């Protein structure tokens, strides 16, 4: 394997991962994002995460588990179990979040409670997307090494759907902290999990990662993203008082994700 091939594969991963910065820039570009923008952006983020979880990540996890188990029924059962394990893990983390960013803890004012909720929403979204992007980066990197003609459209498709993922991280964090810079960099960091995943996978994990590990991970990540969408993103969007904006954003997010996945089928 020559250095040029490795550099090409890593360049693809870096390109797709850093597209979350575009979403972050779009989210912080507005001077005063009003409730309509907040509701739409958060709804869009939820739509992206729900659609990609059910239509791409969970099926991919079950397919990987099928490679390992050899039977569709066993793979489906394992995928469903992993999905709910992911939900359980993020629910436990939700209860263990430090008081200063946990809206379940008492707050002195309504505004403080809102900021805490938004802060947790942004951090959890960044966490979930980083978990998702980590194996995604490794998978893209492997594709680049083995089949560049397949890896290029995969990287472009990932870049397209990473843009609204960047918005998902930046919008609540900007509202919570009042800092455009922090919101932008959190969005960027969540995307950098892709090249980090590629590097670690190439250097350490490649000999040990098999279909079973990847399959369980993908299914659990789908559960994490669904929980965040339903427990954090949509309730926070509804709190703006702009119900229809949230729903329109939700549908738009699903449509964007659907198109980005179908472009390179």
- Residue ranges for the known binding site for Fe(2+) are 133, 136, 162, 165, 194
- Binding site members: 133, 136, 161-162, 165, 194
Close Cβ partners of 116 (under 8 Å, ≥ 6 residues apart):
100, 101, 102, 103, 105, 107, 176
Find out whether 48 and 212 touch, Cβ atoms under 8 Å.
no
- Residue pair 99/214 in contact by the 8 Å Cβ criterion: no
Token output for 13: 């991963």
Whether 190 contacts 133, CB under 8 Å:
yes
Annotated binding-site residues for Zn(2+) read 136, 161, 165
**Contact, 165 vs 21, CB < 8 A?**
no
d(CA 198, CA 244): 40
Q: Rounded to an integer, what distance in angstroms lies between the CA atom of residue 24 and that of residue 162?
A: 10
Helix ranges restricted to H, the chain: 3-18, 20-29, 35-52, 58-69, 72-96, 110-146, 148-177, 180-200, 211-228, 234-239, 243-262
Tokens standing for residue 39: 């509701």
Cα 202 from Cα 219, distance rounded (Å): 22
């Amino acid at each position: 394997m020559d250095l040029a091939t490795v550099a090409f594969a890593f360049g693809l991963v870096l390109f797709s991962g850093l597209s979350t910065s575009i979403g972050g820039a779009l989210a912080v570009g507005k001077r005063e994002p009003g409730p309509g923008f907040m509701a739409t952006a958060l709804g869009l983020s939820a739509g992206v995460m729900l659609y990609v979880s059910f239509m791409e990540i969970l099926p991919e996890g079950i397919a990987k588990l099928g490679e390992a188990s050899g039977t569709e029924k066993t793979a489906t059962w394992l995928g469903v179990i992993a999905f709910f394990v992911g939900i359980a893990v993020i629910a436990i983390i939700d209860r263990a979040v430090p008081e200063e960013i946990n809206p379940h803890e008492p707050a002195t004012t309504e505004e403080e409670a809102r900021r805490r909720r938004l802060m947790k929403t942004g951090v959890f979204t960044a966490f979930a997307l980083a978990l998702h992007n980590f194996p995604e980066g490794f998978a893209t990197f492997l594709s680049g090494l083995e089949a560049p003609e397949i890896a290029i459209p995969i990287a472009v498709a990932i870049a397209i759907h990473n843009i609204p993922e960047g918005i998902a991280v930046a919008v609540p964090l900007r509202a919570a902290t009042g800092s455009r810079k922090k919101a932008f960099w959190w969005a960027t960091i969540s995307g950098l999990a892709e090249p980090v995943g590629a590097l670690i996978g190439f250097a350490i994990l490649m000999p040990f990662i098999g279909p079973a590990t990847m399959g369980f991970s993908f299914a659990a990540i789908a559960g994490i993203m669904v929980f965040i969408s339903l427990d954090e993103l949509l309730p926070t969007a509804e709190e703006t008082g702009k119900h229809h904006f949230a729903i329109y954003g939700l549908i738009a997010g699903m449509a964007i994700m659907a198109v980005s996945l179908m472009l390179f089928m």
